[in-house]
Structure 1
């Protein structure tokens, strides 16, 4: 009888709101992974977190965590500007890191991660959990099989609402801390899923504006994209939309496939419409259905553990995440330069490789009120 797979030792860096989603997922995977430690700079938050999730050890910083623990995986659940330094620290400690989005604040930082990965051989993965919902996996499989015909047009909308008070947190809405506005921090989940279905993009034309929120970044962006396979898509990212929704629509030659949800989808959120003469495809969609599980962190973490167990490359890899980050950078570059941007154009010393704003934001920084 084969020996059972060892239970992996996992730690979290950061104990804020998103860390709770990671901890809940790990609790459901307790037979495969055990949360052994958390690193958090706020002692009260660390104590509350460790008590809630029965974490045996807490550390005040990541360096102490890596010095004190033998780990198989670390989850980086901290504000965006810390992601790259912490991921580099993990790689140099020989610990694979699963990093919340965005992986980095710029393409240059993504390339820095790639260089350290090449040096150490240790993986850095990005949390793009919506790729792992059963319906999305099914859609990619059917699309790649050719059953749906060629992809022709798509719509990707992240229409969310964040009040002015949301941006009272000092790092929110600031280029130097978040890398960008809803393009980087909110809509990136939906257009990452779009890209995972449609494949490589070739050109982006975009506009962006700060219309209502007290931010340095945009609060709305809109892009039109062309893909290598000829498909075209619109991508809208907003934090000024009172009726919130996350919507994706794919029009293939033989069917339309749609999903509308907010922060996570299930089977009921999907709709499949075959083109006239292709009605049997509806039965294929239903017959190929998976478990009705929400597209949350659990599914991606489970997929990462599966990959570790089988020796496969876990997702989402740095190469994959960079393609999504490049789409975000191209959106900003096109919006601020007022012209289309092609894939691969943003390289070298181009200002939009070192920051998403490229030093070309057309509005003045927002000044905070002082007491």
Structure 2
């Protein structure tokens, strides 16, 4: 059971754009356990408005000022993706645990730099993968770990969202050099992170990607077929060109099918558990306390606070987040090279280790690609 810490955790948010509000709202819900003491943004007026809205006492113009003047237990990085790795590393070297919005880094090479800094300082670097922490997902992972559902056989993972051209008016969206990729990196990553968390290590992937209609440098849809080390097979679709929006996951095990359909966060009501014939008694194992709120930042933040209070490394740490980022890199490498990619292939001087595009985007000549 969660327990009150000896003191309220002192937290700060770097970047006060849209996603920062989800972090601040989570902190407000958990106000008995954590307080937002400071915010940072290059747009000082926006930072002041954000601080006033969420009760932060101090505003800073940059991370250096924040880390020099505040005693902190956790820093939330909510800036555009190209700044994630430098800010995470700076925070780690200041001795403060850091929670980074997805994607943690723009490449596996950057991710390895974060891991190296975390290992050297012995300070946790964490990634926001909040869908792992909803009550139903936790229950499912427990049943899988126990072997109660039998061997995993097949799964589907779909992020079918819709974005119009004006969504990309922000200068950092849809660009390899700033966002790192399209829906594979910025949208579907939450769903396939949960897929990987349930099914475990993947062995190989074969993928396609396309820029169908949107005015981006990156893809607006990708599809992949994945084989896991368990032998399970899965399909993964990441789209931002789908007018009827939904997020779906389905897992078929030997003894049951487990499904969820939601959009940006699920409750227990969004899940369906179907036991196979002769295994109806499993339905009782699925029953559990119903979560009243959708899966989101508050669940992961509560788990982080529990772990920090207990002296444990919280989830999802940089080593684990790297496996999800590696899957994204493998999706791009397979799609752009037209080949099957195995886990561990993308390493060293591999072109997709230093960037998600690997200099091989079919619709964009290499000379036009930044990075």
Give the TM-score taking structure 1 as reference length. 0.96
Matched positions, count: 365
Does the 8 A contact of 2:4 with 2:33 survive in 1?
Answer: no
Aligned equivalents of 1:26 and 1:289: distance in 2? 23
Helix, strand or coil: the match of 1:177?
coil
Deviation, structure 1 residue 115: 1.3
Question: By how many angstroms is 1:3 displaced?
Answer: 9.7
CA distances 1:301-331 after superposition (whole Å, capped 9, x unpaired): 0000000111122010111100000000000
Distance 2:4 2:124 in 1: 26
Structure 1 residues 4 and 46: alpha-carbon distance in aligned structure 2, compared to 1, 3 A threshold: closer
Gaps of 5+ in 2: 366-371
1:323 aligns with 2:332: no
Corresponding residue of 1:337? 337
Consecutive unaligned residues of structure 1, counting only runs of 5 or more, are 366-371
Task: Tell me by how many angstroms 1:4 deviates.
Answer: 5.8
Provide runs of 4+ in structure 1 moved above 6 Å.
none
Cα distance in 2, alignment partners of residues 342 and 284 from structure 1: 35
Whether contact under 8 Å (1:266, 1:293) holds in the other structure is: yes
Cα separation, partners in 2 of 1:226 and 1:133, compared to 1, 3 Å: same
- Counterpart of 2:360 in structure 1 is 360
Structure-1 separation of matches of 2:204 and 2:82: 28
Conservation of the 8 A alpha-carbon contact between 1:134 and 1:293: no
Aligned partner of 1:303 in structure 2 is: 303
Q: Which digits, 9 at most, give the CA deviation of each residue in 1:136-181, with x for residues without a partner?
A: 0000000111111100000000000000000111000000001100
Q: Tell me, in whole angstroms, the C-alpha distance in 2 between the residues paired with 1:33 and 1:40.
A: 21
Q: Which residue of 1 aligns with 2:249?
A: 248
Residue 203 (structure 2) aligns with? 202
Q: CA deviation at 1:119?
A: 1.6
Query: Alignment RMSD, CA only?
Result: 1.5
Question: Paired residue for 1:136?
Answer: 137
Q: Does 1:211 align with 2:212?
A: yes
- Conservation of the 8 A alpha-carbon contact between 1:135 and 1:289: no
1:181–1:217 contact (8 Å) kept in structure 2: yes
User: Which residue of structure 1 aligns with residue 224 of structure 2?
Assistant: 223
What's 1:100 paired with? Answer: 101
The residue correspondences of 1:45-84 to structure 2 (distance < 5 A) are 45-84=46-85
**Distance across 1 between alignment mates of 2:70 and 2:129:** 27
| Alpha carbons 2:132, 2:194 under 8 Å: kept | yes
What is the distance in 2 between the residues matched to 1:118 and 1:298?
A: 26
1:165 & 1:179 partners in 2: Cα distance? Answer: 19
Asked if structure 1 preserves the Cα contact closer than 8 Å seen for 2:5 and 2:33, the reply is: no
- Relative distance call for 1:230 and 1:289 in structure 2 (3 A) is farther
CA distance in 2, matches of 1:230, 1:5: 46
Residues of 1 paired with 2:299 and 2:161: CA distance? 24
Aligned pairs (5 A) from 1:248-267: 248-267=249-268
Q: Deviations over 1:209-256 (max 9, x none)?
A: 001000000000000000000000000000000000000000000000
Q: Kindly indicate whether the alpha-carbon contact (under 8 Å) linking 1:134 and 1:292 is maintained by their aligned counterparts in 2.
A: no
